[in-house]
Amino acid sequence: MTEPPGPPGTPRGAAAPSAPGAEGKVAPTVVPVRHPWRWVASAVVLVVVAMMVNTLFFSHVERGGVREGRFQWGVVGKYLFYHPILRGIGVTLELTVIAMVAGIVIGVLLAVMRLSPNRLLSGAAWLYIWFFRGTPVLVQLFFWYVGITYLYPHLSFGIPFGPGFVTVNANVLVTTFVAGSLGLSLNEGAYMAEIVRAGIISVDEGQTEAAQSLGMSKRQTLRLIVLPQAMRIIIPPTGNETISMLKTTSLVYVIALVELFTATQNVSNANYETVPLLLVASIWYLFFTSILTVGQYYVERHYARGSTRALPPTPLQKLRQGLFQLRPGRPGLPMDVPLAAPHE
């Protein structure tokens, strides 16, 4: 167990008041190991942090004969809630949700196909993943926007190799939004497929046998027994994918779809406040990735049921525990007490 740097010389909780031993001797007190280099490292970190705070908020610079704050937070504040940028945020969130939901659906489908004993099905899934993982998203986005209208100026829906019922102009159907969501979703599907597959094969085969011996069908077994357990493996990388997707949506800049990043660029192209608007974009991306991080923590905690004897504390509980520990003589809340006596 690592110990956070505390005031030196104060034993932390562990040392119980020593009681006289059997022969009247006093049992020796435990003195924890000292960590001097930890103190040095902490000092270095503190200096760096101080430098960063200084340069971010208190330093000035001369630009074109005018002395102004280095990071121009005033300009940042002015555009942070600027209407076009808020609209851009809406599009970014829409794209993220669409791409992740579609990606997960495609991923589950492909994962089940890849695990199918039918070679054609598993081969098709393999081919899909090979293609979409093997080419850059940027190229795929361009492809869906420019390539589709070039290759198929008229899209026709109907019987394969037979007559088409509806024919539409690709330029009308494939808007930047459609191309953007399509490109991101199909690409995400390939990655999610591998994540879901890893989750499914991590579940012990005995679980499937037990479910089948109760009379559950293959579909029930997958839905009620295998997938819930696979979730524990699937959730953490899916959280990463969602956070990653939120930022990847900025790539649709190249097909002129106006989401958060494109919106900030449009503004800075007009007023030349390039850096402050990059900061505006960064602040919003950080805000939403932070929310996702907290959300991911609670989802992981939910699916940890049954895999750990005691659920890990929530950030709130950790905070409370930390506060209690600051007071001398209080060992903190008993968080690690198991939910019930584990063994008979």
Partner 1 sequence: MVEARGVCKSFGRLEVLKGIDLTVNRGEVLCLIGPSGSGKSTFLRCINHLENVDSGELSVDGELVGYRLSGDKLYELRDKEVCGKRAEIGMVFQRFNLFPHMSVLDNVMSGPVRVRRESSAVARERAHRLLERVGLADKETNYPNQLSGGQQQRVAIARALAMEPKLMLFDEPTSALDPELVGDVLDVMRGLADDGMTMIVVTHEMGFAREVGDTVVFMDGGVVVESGDPKTVLTDPQHQRTRSFLSKVL
In the complex, which residues of this chain contact partner 1 (CB under 8 A)? 204, 206-207, 209-218, 220, 224-225, 228-229, 303, 305-307, 309, 338-344
- Minimum distance of partner 1 from residue 213's CB (angstroms): 4
- β partners of residue 68: 61
CB of 315 to partner 1, least distance (A): 24
Q: Which two tokens stand for residue 224?
A: 């009620």
Comparison of 159 and 340: residue with beta carbon closer to partner 1: 340
Alpha-carbon distances, residue 221 vs 118, 196, 207, 224, 328 (angstroms): 19, 16, 9, 5, 53
Residues in the chain: 344
Q: Which one, 225 or 263, has the nearer CB to partner 1?
A: 225
Write down the least CB distance from residue 257 to partner 1, Å.
40
Around Cβ 38, how many Cβ atoms within 10 Å? 13
Least distance CB 220 / partner 1 (angstroms)? 6
Of the candidates 125, 91, 84, the one whose C-alpha atom is nearest the C-alpha of residue 106 is: 125
| 208/240 with CB nearer partner 1 | 208
- Considering beta carbons, is residue 28 or 215 the nearer one to partner 1? 215
Q: What's the rounded Cα separation, in Å, for the pair 299 and 325?
A: 27
Q: Which is nearer to partner 1, 227 or 278 (CB)?
A: 227
Least spacing, CB of residue 212 vs partner 1, in Å: 6
